[in-house]
Amino acid sequence: MTAEKDIDVLISEVGPRDGLQSVVATMPTTLKREWISALAGAGLKEIEVGSFVPPKLLPQMADVADVVAHALTLPGLFVTALTPNLRGAEAAFVAGVHKITLPVSVSEAHSLANVRKSHVQMIEEVQAVVNLRNTRYPGVQIEAGLSTAFGCSLQGTVPEDDVIRLAVIMAECGVDEVGLSDTAGMANPRQIRSIYPRLRSAIGADKAGSAHLHNTYGQGLANVVAALEVGVTTFDASQGGIGGCPYAPGATGNIVTEDLVFLLESMGLRTGVDLDRLMAAREILKKGLPNEPLYGYLPEAGVPKGFCYAGRNV
Amino acid sequence: MTAEKDIDVLISEVGPRDGLQSVVATMPTTLKREWISALAGAGLKEIEVGSFVPPKLLPQMADVADVVAHALTLPGLFVTALTPNLRGAEAAFVAGVHKITLPVSVSEAHSLANVRKSHVQMIEEVQAVVNLRNTRYPGVQIEAGLSTAFGCSLQGTVPEDDVIRLAVIMAECGVDEVGLSDTAGMANPRQIRSIYPRLRSAIGADKAGSAHLHNTYGQGLANVVAALEVGVTTFDASQGGIGGCPYAPGATGNIVTEDLVFLLESMGLRTGVDLDRLMAAREILKKGLPNEPLYGYLPEAGVPKGFCYAGRNV
């Protein structure tokens, strides 16, 4: 998380990574650059711009180093990337990202399906990444993103104790932050209220990272309200709600950045994001992915008359 | 609100009224009956089955008395209807509904546009309806539904003081409950948390009625979470999110019953509703309105593996 005094809540835009890697089409590099510039121009201060994965597996991400290089030219933007393993992490370090996120599944079934590693193997991988960072790239932040932290399409229920145990192991490995991901969209506000205070007690408030909430069952913003109550201040979201939930075809993935900004600003929480500019960025996304459905209510309805951004005089 | 000891939250299904009166097509009476039966069969305990309005204005509601007669045959169902004026209220009383809701706009601009009455005229109308009820139909409940309580597409911001003042006047008129309607979908959780305690202080907890939340900007369930915190226990919702927000074309209206049930049950709050049966009712709605878009995430994604209803053993 970046330290920003002029905002109350940090929105980490993950569309260029979580969104673009989940669709069949590949967005042309020039449009990716244009889109990321527009997102940053709308006021988003942190963007996950891609995944460092083999192009054979995810051809949509083959240009990730180029995309990172462009993002690093944007003033004030905190540039992050997803890296599933040591090899990807090293490539991301070389590319110059400010932060990497390592996906670590709480559900072992999901871990095996997603990164083909058991818990033991994945913990070893995280440790190797931290060691590499410590030795050669000390300025780069590392977040462990705990997937399936609220339930798993393969395993079903995921016990809270398992989440906390893995979070502690991650902290012991030396990651800077541990975020929780609702990979399957199964989280509910009661769970959210219960788990975040435990997470902070277990690993310290400074290490408790972002909430990555999916909207598979339409519960995303409801969970944000609960998370705000228990002190979460960083939320992942994607423009147009693009992003993956391969186990729920037809259902949206991430919470929609546009609707999240509306929620937070109308609650009096400053995000730094301008909705009109965000809508302009959406046009570039549409151009880049002409055949993909985009989600979001605010984009359909338009910014309402009398809408008042947080901290601004009417 | 009905007194139900086996549920924690009452969902008042308004699709047959708010939904069906907002679409151009008219659902055939036989399918309306079938749909309402299926909704009740899914466990919904209160259904607003129609509006008592002139058929010239809303031909979709021309069969409302027939529909009420059918609904009254369903065991245990609490049957409600919307009535904009004395004439409609009398027709509803004659038809035998258990409760009527009178829409009273906090925004005078909206009042004039919606029911062609100033505040003074509308208050007189409510008083006349209460007098009629008291004299001739003493068993029927009356709710005043305060429209535009959280913002108005015409007026913009709606001051909280105006809402409370009108709620007190309604209580003084002798209505049984005062509900708040987010007609324009502009409510946010902070507003919700602020206004409901004030409403209860002003008119008494027993008179504080349902929350009627729209999803125009995608904030519906987020507002439910906040409303639950401040003690709201009755929520209006419509199957498939059908329902009106004429000022936001293309945007959904009411919060989606399916997604609301998912939220509440996953939070451990009993609704009495079975999701599989609710999905079966949705098929009848689809058949009745083949050309209308239906909303909802749960219907797209399906009930997730391991989903656990509140108060049931796994």
The full DSSP string for B182-233 is ETTS---HHHHHHHHHHHHHHH-GGGEEEEEEB-TTS-HHHHHHHHHHTT--
Mean pLDDT of A12-28: 94
DSSP state of A237: E
- Nearest residue to A226 via CA among A265, A263, A251: A263
Residue written as token pair 């466990």: B43
Provide, for chain A, the percentages of residues in helix, strand and coil under a 3-state DSSP scheme, each rounded to the nearest 5.
45, 15, 40
pLDDT of residue A245: 53
Chain B residues interacting with chain A (CB cutoff of 8 angstroms): 151, 153, 156-157, 184-186, 188-190, 215-219, 221-222, 224-226, 245, 248, 250-252, 256, 259, 262-263, 266-268, 296-298, 300-302, 304-308
Amino acid at B30: T
Comparing A139 with A114, the larger pLDDT belongs to A139
pLDDT tens readout for residues A59-87: 999 999 999 999 999 999 999 999 999 99
Residue range A203-232: average pLDDT?
96
Over range B151-160, report the average pLDDT: 90
Nearest residue in A to B302, CA atom: A248
Query: Closest to A304 (Cβ–Cβ): which among B217, B256, B307?
Result: B217
Integer Cα distance of B184 and B152 in angstroms: 6
Q: Which residue of A has its CA nearest to B156?
A: A306
Question: Would you say residue A27 lies in a domain?
Answer: yes
- List the single best residue of A260, A261, A297, A309 to mutate versus B (max B Cβ within 10 A): A297
Q: With respect to residue B86, please indicate whether it lies within any of the assigned structural domains.
A: yes
Residues of B in contact with A190 (CB under 8 A): 266-268
Q: Domain containing B85: what range? A: 10-301
Of A29-43, A186-200, A293-307, B39-53, minimum mean pLDDT range: A293-307
In the predicted model, is pLDDT for residue B3 greater than 60? no
A174: domain CATH number?
3.20.20.70
Specify the pLDDT at position A307. 85
Q: Cβ contacts (< 8 Å) between B153 and chain A: which residues?
A: 304-305
The answer to whether residue A312 sits within a structural domain is no
Instruction: Give the 3-state secondary structure of residue A296.
Output: coil
Distance in Å, alpha carbon of B227 to nearest chain A alpha carbon: 11
* Structure tokens given for B224: 């439910």
Q: Specify whether A308 is catalytic.
A: no
C-alpha span between A260 and A12 (Å, rounded): 11
Disruptive mutation site among A8, A217, A267 for chain B (greatest number of B CBs within 10 Å) = A217
- Cα-Cα-Cα-Cα torsion A166, A169, A171, A174, nearest 10 degrees, comes to -130
The confidence band for A312, taking pLDDT boundaries of 50, 70 and 90, is confident
The 8-class DSSP code of residue B59 comes to: G
Alpha-carbon distances of A23 from A30, A42, A250, A288, B176, rounded to whole Å:
18, 24, 12, 11, 53
Which residue shows structure tokens 């003074």?
B120
**Helical H segments across B72-117, by residue range:** 86-95, 108-115
So what's the ipTM on this one? 0.94
Mean pLDDT of the B82-102 span: 98
Is-contact B141 B107, C-beta < 8 A?
no
> Angle, to 10 degrees, between the axis of helix A64-71 and the axis of helix A29-41?
30
Rounded to whole angstroms, the Cα distance separating B110 from B113 reads 5
Which pairs count as long-range contacts for A115-119, CB under 8 Å and 24+ apart, including other chains?
A115/A84, A115/A85, A119/A166
Q: Locate the chain B residue with the closest alpha carbon to A265.
A: B188
Q: Does some domain include residue A236?
A: yes
Structural domain contains residue B308: no
Is residue A313 one of the residues assigned to a domain? Answer: no
Query: How many domains is chain B built from?
Result: 1
Neighbours of B132 (CB within 10 A): 16
In a domain, B182, yes or no: yes
Average pLDDT over residues A84-99: 98
Does the residue B110 lie in any domain?
yes
Measure CB to CB from residue A263 to each of B153, B219, B267 and give the nearest one: B219
A253: nearest Cα among A171, A182, A164: A182
Q: Which of A178, A296, A180, A310 is nearest to A238 (CA)?
A: A296
Enter the pTM of the model.
0.95
